[in-house]
Amino acid sequence: MLSYTIRRLAFAVPTLLVISLLIFLLLELAPGDPMAQVPLTVPPEVKAQMREALGLGEPVHLRYWKWLVQMVWVEPLVLVDHLFGTDFSEGKLRILSWQHRGPVMDVVVQRLPQTLWVVGTAYVVGILIALPIGIWSAYRRASIFDQAGTFVTVVGYSVPPFFTGPLLILVFAVQLGWFPAIYDTTHRVTDWQGFTVQLKQMVLPVMVLSLQTTAQIARYMRAAVLDNLGQDYVRTARAKGLSEATVLGVHVLRNSMIPVVTVIALGMPAIFGGAIITEQIFSINGIGAQLIGAIKAPDMPTVHTITFLFAVLIVLTNLAADLLYGWLDPRIRYE
């Protein structure tokens, strides 16, 4: 197991390097010029100096190397400094945005909590709804509940977030007026009333995102429980007189969770992708909105950094899914 973990980790590093290089080369072709906003009255030699200061005059491989060093060495050092009050990163250059000329990671750190709050809540809510639906659909297979549940999950799977979002706004914000249509990111929770305001504005985005999660996970849960219900150990458990609740809730649930846990881990990147669209619909000032803004600007260092962070997330969740699978199911042996 340990050697397998190390091997998988060792493979994750070159994967990430290749991906970051791919993104970098793709962005190399970008038509965007960070000097586009500089007034025409600025003399060419000053412009050339400014270009130099942004590190644009150097060859491609050198600039990639510099980005890499900044991303995997300087930025972690800044984090360490921030956490422990040291000054390792003193005087080192960080990845600068072309939009606001400040470090990209500072903005990412500001934006990330908004996204994490909404995405995290949505994921937890989605899983909590999906598991009972999946279990009960499988247990009462071909019943009305199962038919309805399957239909709802297929609908949830087919209706894209950019349609459920406006639809929910129409019903709950425009017609009923229960929840706000726009997420106020400047809102601070200081008292009970502020907390309810925060809760209310989170309802619609969380609903949009969790609908997708619910649909997917409920499908897998149903299939996994169906697989397990036919197993011998279930018959044994029933034969020795255990209650149905124990059989279902303890024996079947634990075994069915093995494949579903990996699906839950693997679904994380997809929900971050969904968050890009959801943030656009509800005007949430999160990392997805930052990415869209940077793409349209165009602000290549920011795009590169955020896309790379997404790739790290995907590779790490894949790794976690693989390892969890082996840990949860002792029958699986890695050589």
Residues engaged in binding another protein (CB under 8 A): 15-16, 18-19, 22-23, 26-27, 29-31, 154-155, 157-160, 162-163, 166-167, 169-170, 174, 269, 273, 276-277, 280-281, 291-292, 295-296, 298, 303, 306-307, 310-311, 313-315, 318
Q: What is the closest distance, in whole angstroms, from the C-beta atom of residue 188 to another protein in the complex?
A: 28
Q: Are 269 and 260 a contacting pair, CB within 8 Å?
A: no
C-beta of 34 vs 89, nearer to another protein: 34
- CA 73, 79, 85, 89 dihedral sign is positive
C-beta of 42 vs 155, nearer to another protein: 155
User: For residue 22, what are its two tokens?
Assistant: 């791919």
Q: What is the closest distance, in whole angstroms, from the C-beta atom of residue 315 to another protein in the complex?
A: 5
Q: What is the closest distance, in whole angstroms, from the C-beta atom of residue 295 to another protein in the complex?
A: 5
Distances (CA, A) of 153 to 134, 203, 211, 216, 265: 10, 20, 8, 7, 19
Q: What is the closest distance, in whole angstroms, from the C-beta atom of residue 290 to another protein in the complex?
A: 11
C-beta of 223 vs 253, nearer to another protein: 223
- Pick from 37, 46, 32: which is nearest to 100 by CA? 37
Q: What is the closest distance, in whole angstroms, from the C-beta atom of residue 335 to another protein in the complex?
A: 17
R_g over Cα of the chain: 25
Q: What is the DSSP letter of 103?
A: B
Q: What is the DSSP letter of 74?
A: I
CA dihedral angle for residue 281, residue 282, residue 287, residue 290, rounded to 10 degrees = 70
> How many Å apart are CA 233 and CA 237, to the nearest integer?
6
C-beta of 164 vs 256, nearer to another protein: 164
Alpha-helix residue ranges (DSSP H) falling in 140-191: 144-158, 161-168
Q: What is the DSSP letter of 95?
A: P
Q: What is the closest distance, in whole angstroms, from the C-beta atom of residue 291 to another protein in the complex?
A: 6
C-beta of 237 vs 284, nearer to another protein: 284
C-beta of 16 vs 72, nearer to another protein: 16
Q: What is the closest distance, in whole angstroms, from the C-beta atom of residue 18 to another protein in the complex?
A: 5
> How many Å apart are CA 66 and CA 316, to the nearest integer?
24
> How many Å apart are CA 165 and CA 157, to the nearest integer?
14
User: For residue 13, what are its two tokens?
Assistant: 């590093």
C-beta of 198 vs 269, nearer to another protein: 269
User: For residue 3, what are its two tokens?
Assistant: 């050697």
